[in-house]
Structure 1
Amino acid sequence: MITPDSMSKDAKRVTDLYELLERQIFNLIINTLKENNLGEIDSSNVLQWQQQQLNQLNYVVNEAIKIVSGKNPHIEAELKHLIKENGQQIVSDVDNTLQKQTHKTVPVSEDVTDMIGSYLESAFTSFNKHISSTLLSRNVSDNATGKVYRDIINQATAQTITGLKTHEQAVNGAIYKWIDAGLPSALTNRAGSNMSIDSYARMVVNTSAHQTFNDLRLKRMEDYGTKLALMSSHAASRPACAPIQGKVVNLVPESNPNYDSEYDSIYNHDYGKPGGTQGVNCSHILFPYHKGWNTNNQPKYNPNKAIENGEIQQKQRGYERNVRKYKELLVAAEKLQDVGGIQHYKRLIAGNQKRLRDLVKDNDFLYRDYSREKIYK
């Protein structure tokens, strides 16, 4: 049976490929910068080093394009599995329940098939549009790898000339800064900051997985004339879901003629909005409900406590993201043979892992999910 958890795991397989792609590009940049026939670099010869490295710009961009082109077929295959194959199984899963509840069979309409195709096409289009314009562009001024490579060189050169850092410190620091920020995309977030390609990929993949799971289930319920659902419940919840989780809810607004006044409606809890019920990263499941057939065996949680727990869970997610980020930086430090950097990032990893252990120990509704702390190798 397909669940939000299984969809999340499949989504992670796609984003892991982007994680690996980005690491391979940074390894390419590091390897190129380590090639130097000028000997010791300082303010007296750093401009020669700068020109030597900039002469490698076209080579770096072309090699990065080869890396991306090699990964694209694997990314497309994983996206197809995530959306199309899982989508078909989701329809089959919910149909089995609906057939038992209604004692009838409703053929899968073209609308359902079109929904799956639309989500798949949307994901492909988003990736192809932005990846082609940022990672596959042969115009070095537009290519994300070219921008990062050139900026690292120019930053390191300026800091070496001023004497603020040794050349090695300047190069390493510029590399760490960009690994932390990620390869830049042409998109900005709500705050106006540039989104990294990795962050953009995660947003597209996770949104696609979420839409596929929820929208297909709700569409089939609509096809069967099901207007009620039993909402799953969790110890940690977002504010929009906390008051109605574990309860029977209407899948239609109060204005709908089929609205059942005995139950609340998901439309009263920001349904359709990113932060609302069934919004981005919401993991609640809406099970088809028919009076006299279902039994509500969902655990009950105090709404205020569930919201409080949700905020604690977000702290856990923050520590997990930090662990992954510092592990990526540790890989770079090891590649650079930067002893100070290795020790620094090992301390940061250990510190965040300790915070995770303490948080899980102090909150029995949490559990340690090591897959969220791993980086793809």
Structure 2
Amino acid sequence: MFTPSELERIPKQIERYMRDLEEKILIDVVHRIKVNNEITSTGDNLLYRLKQYGQYEQDIKKYIQSTLKITDAEIDNIFNNAIEVGYTRDKSLYEATGKQFIEYKNNAELQQLVSAIKQQTKNEIRNITQTTGFMVNMNGKKVYTPASQYLHDKLDKAAYEVLSGSFSYDKSIKDTIKELADGGIRSIDYSNGRSINAVTAVRMCVVTGVNQVVGHITQSNAEKLDTEHFEVSWHGTARPSHQLWQGKVFNKKELEEICGLGTPGGLLGVNCYHSYYPFILGISKRSYTDEQLEQMQADENTKIKFGDKEYTKYEATQRMRKMESQMRTQRKTIKLLKEGGASQDDIINAKVAYQATSQQYAKFADKMQLPMERQRIYADGLGRVM
């Protein structure tokens, strides 16, 4: 129904909205700390801080509500339009077998399912945004703090450090920005204290919802086409456990037992961009022969040396994703240092670090014979930071 690259692109716009939300919240914290530092009177400083505690919480709610309006609209777009396009692609199988194809607009059962999962996805994103906070390193232990409490603590800490003379403003703001940029806004599970980056959480939520619909459509089509077989898609740089079954044909039981369909780590599971399609014996043609799959898998797992390590295609891609994430963090740091009025030395040092990572990224991609995906870096919406 969808190619792996199409599945990966589907949540990109919502990711962008969440990155914009993160930027607003982080810059807001930095601005308030900056103003806090500029108030030199102890009494005035205290009054400012007391006012900010309630004001910040109200502003956070406004940022979130504004983001939810546009993410809800994008969820509607994904489930109302993208799903219909993907669903219609299977029409050729019906024509090849002489079966009747029900147009999407006339498929009341499917539309009811899509509507339910669409609302479920919206609710989950709403829950993610309502539990946002920051990761704080306290005595070597990661502690996740609600956004309003974080500002409360940081304003008090900055006021004490700067007004008492124990630390300079540059030192105080640099430490805070490092903490903000490294962790970003997190979605916190208060029952166990664990958290996940809010952007990642929203992406996984959208892909899970789409996969639920895709799985239902595939099973429904198989029943109507009288087939018990399915072909699984293939894509490069798949995780090793998925390489074992991608591109092959299985029956329903094998999809569950071999491909792990229905499990978090299997087909259509967490961060899986594979799909599977009805396969009609005697009519459908496989995308790849067993020999082609064997050769492609061998190519994927041929190791290439870079520095003192060797990498398969999958391992190289994982390192590239980490470098892209590192560069987004570095770009965020530069932006926040500028917004916070940090010293020019700190800003220049941050730019030098970002430039060094960017050059290393280009060299690594060239050596691994993989395309650079700088759009992943610039998806932060920060524009030029150098």
TM range (shorter): 0.7 to 0.9
User: In structure 2, the residue corresponding to 1:360 is in which secondary structure?
Assistant: helix
- The one-letter code sitting in structure 1 at the alignment partner of 2:203 is R
Query: Displacement of 1:368 after TM fit?
Result: 1.4
Q: In the alignment, which residue of structure 2 is the partner of 1:310? A: 314
Q: Confirm or deny: 8 A CA contact 1:242 1:306 kept in the other structure.
A: no
Q: Which runs of 5+ in 2 are unaligned?
A: 134-144, 302-311
Query: Displacement of 1:159 after TM fit?
Result: 4.1
Distance 2:333 2:34 in 1: 17
Distance 2:190 2:316 in 1: 28
Q: In the alignment, which residue of structure 2 is the partner of 1:237? A: 238
User: In structure 2, the residue corresponding to 1:169 is in which secondary structure?
Assistant: helix
| Larger mean Cα displacement after TM superposition, 29-38 or 326-335 | 29-38
Query: Displacement of 1:104 after TM fit?
Result: 0.6
Distance 1:297 1:2 in 2: 14
State TM-score, norm by structure 1.
0.81
Alignment partner of 1:66 is 2:62: yes
Query: Displacement of 1:241 after TM fit?
Result: 2.1
Q: In the alignment, which residue of structure 2 is the partner of 1:97? A: 92
Q: In the alignment, which residue of structure 2 is the partner of 1:122? A: 120
Query: Displacement of 1:25 after TM fit?
Result: 2.0
Q: Give RMSD over aligned pairs.
A: 3.1
Q: 1:316 to 1:104 in 2, by over 3 A?
A: same
Distance 2:164 2:215 in 1: 56
CA distances 1:10-36 after superposition (whole Å, capped 9, x unpaired): 311011101101211222222233225
Q: In the alignment, which residue of structure 1 is the partner of 2:136? A: none
Q: 1:56 to 1:278 in 2, by over 3 A?
A: closer
User: In structure 2, the residue corresponding to 1:246 is in which secondary structure?
Assistant: coil
Q: In the alignment, which residue of structure 2 is the partner of 1:75? A: 71
Percent of aligned pairs with the same residue? 18
- The one-letter code sitting in structure 1 at the alignment partner of 2:341 is Q
Distance 2:3 2:271 in 1: 13
Q: In the alignment, which residue of structure 2 is the partner of 1:216? A: 217
Query: Displacement of 1:372 after TM fit?
Result: 1.0
Query: Displacement of 1:332 after TM fit?
Result: 0.9
Q: Which runs of 5+ in 1 are unaligned?
A: 136-142, 255-264
Query: Displacement of 1:320 after TM fit?
Result: 1.4
Distance 2:198 2:125 in 1: 10
Distance 1:113 1:285 in 2: 20
Q: Confirm or deny: 8 A CA contact 2:131 2:189 kept in the other structure.
A: no
Alignment partner of 1:348 is 2:353: yes
Distance 2:168 2:72 in 1: 43
User: In structure 2, the residue corresponding to 1:333 is in which secondary structure?
Assistant: helix
Alignment partner of 1:33 is 2:33: yes
Q: In the alignment, which residue of structure 2 is the partner of 1:138? A: none
Q: In the alignment, which residue of structure 2 is the partner of 1:260? A: none
User: In structure 2, the residue corresponding to 1:35 is in which secondary structure?
Assistant: helix
Distance 1:282 1:101 in 2: 30
Q: In the alignment, which residue of structure 1 is the partner of 2:53? A: 57
User: In structure 2, the residue corresponding to 1:269 is in which secondary structure?
Assistant: coil
Distance 1:158 1:206 in 2: 45
Distance 1:361 1:213 in 2: 36
Query: Displacement of 1:78 after TM fit?
Result: 0.5
Q: In the alignment, which residue of structure 1 is the partner of 2:362? A: 357
Q: 1:130 to 1:286 in 2, by over 3 A?
A: closer
CA distances 1:261-299 after superposition (whole Å, capped 9, x unpaired): xxxx45313222222233222222323322232333434
- The one-letter code sitting in structure 2 at the alignment partner of 1:268 is I
CA distances 1:85-143 after superposition (whole Å, capped 9, x unpaired): 2122221122x1321332211436554223312221111111233434659xxxxxxx9
